[in-house]
């Protein structure tokens, strides 16, 4: 179990820890924990966390301002997703690079407890 994060887009506190009456709830199921770990990893820049410099995505080192192709970004993110503890496979992966340089990805992963869909995660590239 992990401390629960607010992953509901377009809500106040998106991406923040959830507090209910002063308590910090945890994720409910194993697949929720795995899904949240993927979410955190994709929103973390590699070298951002000083205790583990390889945690996160190499946005600055290999993506942002590097004239990398969409398929190159896809490959990096898929490798990072598969590297998250508890992820067994990627069932589907769909991405889009918009004209305003926003990369949008939706995918479904398989965990030991079943499939988990991650819808519409956006990253500026």
| Secondary structure of 71-101 as H, E, C letters | HHHHHHHHHHHHCCCCCCEEEEEEEEECCCC
Residue 17 in domain: no
Helix 30-42 vs helix 70-82: angle between axes, to the nearest 10 degrees? 140
pLDDT bracket for residue 79 (50, 70, 90): very high
* Residue 34 lies in domain: 30-124
Tell me how many domains the chain contains: 1
Structure confidence at residue 85 (pLDDT) = 94
The enclosing domain of 118 has a CATH number of 3.10.450.40
Residue 83 in domain: yes
Give per-residue pLDDT as tens, 86-104. 999 999 999 998 887 788 8
Give per-residue pLDDT as tens, 43-71. 899 999 889 888 999 988 888 888 888 89
Decide: 53 and 46 in contact? Cβ < 8 Å. Answer: yes
Decide: 102 and 122 in contact? Cβ < 8 Å. Answer: yes
The answer to whether residue 4 scores a pLDDT higher than 80 is yes
**pTM given for the model:** 0.85
Residue 41 in domain: yes
């Amino acid at each position: 179990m992990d401390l629960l994060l607010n992953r509901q887009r377009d809500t106040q506190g998106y991406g923040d820890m959830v507090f209910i009456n002063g308590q910090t709830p945890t994720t409910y199921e194993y697949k929720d924990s795995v899904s949240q770990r993927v979410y955190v990893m994709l929103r973390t820049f590699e070298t951002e966390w000083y205790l583990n410099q390889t945690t996160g995505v190499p946005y600055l080192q290999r993506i942002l301002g590097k004239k990398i192709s969409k398929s190159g970004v896809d490959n990096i993110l898929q490798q990072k997703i598969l590297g998250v503890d508890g992820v067994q496979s990627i069932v589907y992966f769909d991405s889009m690079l918009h004209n305003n340089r926003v990369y949008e990805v939706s995918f479904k992963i398989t965990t030991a407890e079943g499939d988990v869909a991650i819808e519409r995660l956006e990253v500026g590239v």
